[in-house]
Structure 1
């Protein structure tokens, strides 16, 4: 348990709170919302807002219950910022996805920021996860989950493992389900930001009994750098989008699970 003296000022400015939070992270590496609120003398709502702002600026890594130093979790600003975008929608999507994960499952999880949010809902499940995501490995350490980290070259920007050896690793395993993200989806197909990410997505889907696409509304109708497959890759789409594109996806044989992300 972290112990630190309560700060006397009840009217500490945001800038001073930021500095105190950073000082505590430097000392302890990880802090919890409740402990920060008590120590700084503000509400948990204020601390949550402060942590969200700091994460979006790359000052810390936001965990479900608090925050960690960036250097301790080896997550660059780009991943942290991406993980905080549309947070409520991503959490609603992942809560629904977790409902389909049962004890004994073996699942693939890719390096997407939405898939990462699934971690908080599955920590107590007796399952095996095969992933190329370093943030997911870090988040699930010490949980009930058994982790199989895919081997290969580390992509520092994406904090993920890619490459020929990674694809070979994936091909050796079979999973009951795969939970994947993409950069865009239209009625014409699936889009990725790079060939390496597209290759991993294809490899995981090929080795899974059922493929789930975790996709917030900003990805619907969006095209990207690379169209890498048609919609036949996907069995189930979980999204907070509820517009006309849903009918097009369902006509292609995809089951669409709609959630409320606000």
Structure 2
């Protein structure tokens, strides 16, 4: 198959699946991974797709970060309830941190009308809040395309220059025994930086995250002031027993 024919097939696959890994491309096209990597590099230089660490994604996903951020979001109704409750704690004039979590992102519609300042590393949050009453401070640093977020040491230094009234964060897992855990060291580092420079910390966490221990255990429960979740009272009791304030939404 010629490069031109492969190009059309690659674009068709990305249109159907939005994001495809190198190994899958190679199997579907019956070519080597070396060849497909070379094809993807060439197509990216032509502006036809966006290269990721493991393959490629449809260019429109990068151009519209909100769509990309939420293409795999689950438990949307529960997360919206959590965010409605969280928004009630935000006062006019507040300075708040918002991380790049999918639950935290869903806080945006409930704060657009507030005259506050948001400091964030999330491009989808910026995209959603632009043109609203919110003043935005975008954290600088290295772009993680897959997460549509800014990470790295420069980002952490940026955060350390500011003080916030509140931080709204998410995690990949939380348990009474081992505290907060993440799938990524860089996301854990950003979370810790935001927590260290906030007067109050709110963890927005749907019930599926409770009782979960993930790859990196990075902090104890004591860094959180309030857990807002859709979990039932029985499930949150072990966290309350450790002194954590918990708000359960229905």
The alpha carbon displacement at 1:223 in A equals 1.2
Of 124, 142, 146, 1:135 maps to: 124
Length-normalised TM-score, structure 1: 0.70
What is the rounded CA distance, in whole Å, between the counterparts of 1:162 and 1:70 in structure 2? Answer: 19
Residue-by-residue CA offset, 1:208-231 (whole Å, 9 max, x unaligned): 000000000110101111100110
Deviation, 1:190, is: 0.5
- Residues 1:203 and 2:217 aligned together: no
Q: How many pairs align?
A: 193
Tell me which residue corresponds to 1:48.
none
Say if 2:182 and 2:214, in contact at 8 Å, map to a contact too. Answer: yes
Post-superposition Cα deviations, 1:164-186, rounded to whole Å, max 9, x if no partner, equal 00000000000000000000110
Map of 1:109-188 to 2, 5 A cutoff?
Answer: 109-188=98-177
Please say if 1:235 is aligned against 2:230. Answer: no
The DSSP-based 3-state class of the residue aligned with 1:238 is strand
How many Å apart are 1:81 and its aligned residue?
2.7
SS in 2 for 1:102: coil
Contact 1:76 1:157 in 2 (8 A): no
Asked if the contact 2:87–2:110 (Cα under 8 Å) also holds between the matched residues in 1, the reply is yes
Correspondent of 1:93 among 79, 82, 90:
82
Q: How far apart in 1 are the matches of 2:155 and 2:213?
A: 26
Q: Which has the larger radius of gyration?
A: 2
State the shift of 1:76 in Å.
Answer: 7.1
- Establish whether residue 108 from structure 1 lines up as the match of residue 97 from structure 2: yes
Per-residue Cα deviation, 1:19-59 (whole angstroms, up to 9, x for no partner): xxx9xxxxxxxxxxxxxxxxxxxxxxxxxxxxxxxxxxxx9
Partner of 1:248: 238
Match of 1:80 among 70, 78, 81: 70
User: Following the alignment from structure 1 to structure 2, what is the Cα–Cα distance between the partners of residues 194 and 208?
Assistant: 22
What is the rounded CA distance, in whole Å, between the counterparts of 2:78 and 2:120 in structure 1? Answer: 22
TM-aligned CA distance change 1:75 to 1:121, over 3 Å? closer
User: RMSD across aligned C-alpha pairs, in angstroms?
Assistant: 1.8
3-state SS, counterpart of residue 71 of structure 2 = helix
Q: Distance in 2 between matches of 1:206 and 1:174?
A: 9
Gaps of 5+ in 2: 1-14, 16-56
Deviation at 1:158, TM superposition (A): 0.6
Query: Deviation above 3 Å: which 4+ runs of structure 1?
Result: 69-72, 74-77
TM-score w.r.t. length of structure 2:
0.74
Aligned counterparts of 1:254 and 1:117: Cα–Cα separation in 2? 23
- Note the C-alpha offset of 1:237: 0.3
2:189 and 2:214 map into 1 onto residues whose CA distance is 15
**Cα 1:76–1:145, aligned 2, differ >3 Å: closer, same or farther?**
closer
